[in-house]
Amino acid sequence: MAEEFVEGNFLGLAKPDGKPDIVVLSVPYELTTSYGQGTSEGPAACVEASGQVELFDPLLGEDLPAGLRISTPPAWDGEGNNLAQQLDGISNFLAPWYDGKTFPVILGGEHGILPALVHAAGNHPLVDGDFSKLTIVQIDAHADLREELEGEVFSHACAAARAMDFGLKHLFQVGVRAFSQHEYNRIQSDDKITTYFASEIQKSTDSTWGNWLDEISQIEGPIHLTIDIDGLDGSLVPATGTPVPGGLTFWQTVETIQALFSSAKGVVISMDVNEIVPQKDTPLTQFTAAILATKGIIHHINARRAGNWTKQTVAGREISQPKPSTSYFQNR
């Protein structure tokens, strides 16, 4: 039976009764000192574009929500008088959903949300405050490993570097094709960072792409997947702040999602799709973002069906109450 389409909800799905299994969380964050490229409007545009995404996928064999409860809570309110307060606000907004039962899909916003997101992920029972258990997989045109950009250490160009500050287990990057010498040197020298450059994965003559899929299939423990949509080829996401040619194809991105979610020893605890900027002439950019978020939801549901979600999360400590608000970034 066809459900009623609800405006403002991801995929137009009606608000479910009871506690959601999957939440789509909008974080319309844009650093005020940046160029104002429109990422703060991205999440709403993505939710709107999701209305055009097919609810059926052969992997599940039925329409979404496929028996689960998928909810779109109100967006982060953007409150905070300065950058540190805003990052704390984002972290506190996300943290209650990292209860080990809910799968958060976060829509951004600048990639600068990543450190706030990682801080919140510390709440997840599989991480439990020990960030050395957490692996991040990053799809991105940029390494985001700068120490600062124009004096700002929380610039989107520093997102991965600030995430690494938490002492992550490992960072895997793919699609990277724009980086400074400092970032290149860090990639070469830091044994906690593995980067598959775009120039390598696109070669039809060798198996680098297969190596990437194999390597991420072996990740153990909790994983966060962060998709900067500029990691895809610029032709797919022309409105993002810094579109770059030579990126991942759509299907390479889907293959990456598939490999991660079907990993035997790893469990994807959350994902984000960021740097969404509304495109005016056609909705291609926001639609691409919406379909990738949907693919994540589909593969998460598939992982649940395979027992790969509950098996791992139930084994961990469960958090029954959200942790009290923290001021990590203000005290940093």
Give SS3 for 106. Answer: strand
In whole angstroms, give the CA distance from residue 75 to residue 42: 12
Q: Which of 105, 129, 312 is nearest to 226 (CA)?
A: 105
CA 17 to chain centre: 26
Our CB check for Mn ion shows the closer of 119 and 142 to be 142
Provide the minimum distance between the beta carbon of 254 and Mn ion in the complex, in angstroms, as a whole number.
19
Instruction: With beta carbons less than 8 A apart as the criterion, state whether 138 and 55 touch.
Output: no
**Kind and range of the H or E run holding 279:** none
| Spatial distance between the Cα atoms of 16 and 43, rounded to a whole number of angstroms | 21
Enclosing H/E stretch for 261:
helix 250-261
The CB-of-142 to Mn ion minimum distance in angstroms stands at: 5
The piece of 47-55, 80-88, 124-132, 138-146 that touches Mn ion (CB under 5 A) is 138-146
**Contact string 146-175 vs Mn ion (x = CB under 5 A):** ------------------------------
Residue from the set 30, 144, 233, 272 that interacts with Mn ion by CB under 5 A: 144
Shortest distance in whole angstroms from residue 293 CB to Mn ion: 16
Among 228, 244, 290, 291, binds Mn ion (CB under 5 A): 228
CA 251, 255, 261, 267 torsion-angle sign? negative
Record the tokens describing residue 112, joined without a space.
């600068």
What is the Cα gyration radius of the chain? 18
Q: How far is the CB of 274 from Mn ion (least distance, A)?
A: 7
For residue 272, how far is the Cα from the chain centroid? Answer: 2
Contact residue for Mn ion among 21, 140, 233, 272 (CB under 5 A): 140
Q: Which residues, numbered 266-285, are part of the site for Mn ion (CB under 5 A)?
A: none
Among the listed ranges 9-17, 24-32, 110-118, 291-299, the one in contact with Mn ion (CB under 5 A) is 110-118
Please tell me the count of residues contacting Mn ion according to CB under 5 A: 5
**Residue 159 near residue 144, CB atoms below 8 Å:** yes
Segment near Mn ion (CB under 5 A), from 105-113, 193-201, 239-247, 276-284?
105-113
Closer by beta carbon to Mn ion, 30 or else 228 = 228
Q: Of 43, 50, 87, 111, which lies in the binding site for Mn ion, with binding defined by CB under 5 A?
A: 111
Question: CB of 118: closest distance to Mn ion in angstroms?
Answer: 14
Alpha-carbon dihedral sign for residues 286, 308, 211, 137: positive
Nearer to Mn ion, 57 or 144 (CB): 144
Binding residues for Mn ion, per CB under 5 A? Answer: 111, 140, 142, 144, 228
